[in-house]
Amino acid sequence: MKTFGIDITSADIIDNLSFFDSWDDRYRYIIDLGKELPAMDTIDHIDENLIRGCQSKVWLSSENRAGRLYFNVDSDAFIVKGLLAIVMAAYNGKTPEEIRAFDIQGFFESIDLMRHLSTTRGSGLQAMVARIQSLAA
């Protein structure tokens, strides 16, 4: 099984999305990415791991291993799981310094993501990013 952030990077996401001409195809790819996320144990579906500000339910837990942050994520919505996979490609397995230094907004712009999300979905995505960045602070 491939690990987001290590085997599947933000550069891979940019490259793969560039193959698709339509956003319908890009959405299908994003949903498929979400299906590749490792399953989160339901025991981690607790309020402490719930991200506020998301339209769907989103859970995020983290673990620091040898100075690198590893995340386990889940959502009750397929498209949101795909968005989580994109965020994991950027942040998972990175040091706190790498997370803080990564230009996530530039990454989203390079794949033209925010323009194709509803306002509430975009706000939820920003809430996910804020939680990860606070964990790296």
Render pLDDT for 18-40 as a digit per residue (tens, 0 to 9).
Answer: 999 999 999 999 999 999 999 99
DSSP characters over 35-79: HTSPPPPGGG-SGGGBPTT-SS-EEEEEEEETTEEEEEEEESSHH
pLDDT above 70 coverage of the chain, percent: 99
Look up the CATH number of the domain holding residue 25. Answer: 3.90.1010.10
Task: Tell me if the pTM is above 0.85.
Answer: yes
C-alpha distance from residue 9 to each of 50, 56, 120 (Å)? 25, 25, 26
Tell me: the pLDDT tens digits for 73-110? 999 999 999 999 999 999 999 999 999 999 999 999 99
* Domain contains 3: no
**Tokens 């299906």 label which residue?**
35
Tokens 């386990």 belong to 72
Mapped onto helix, strand or coil, the DSSP state of residue 95 is coil
Confirm whether 100 is domain-assigned.
yes
Q: What is the mean pLDDT of residues 46-57?
A: 89
pLDDT of 1 above 80: no
Q: How many domains does the chain have?
A: 1
Note whether residue 86 is domain-resident: yes
Q: Which residues are catalytic?
A: 54
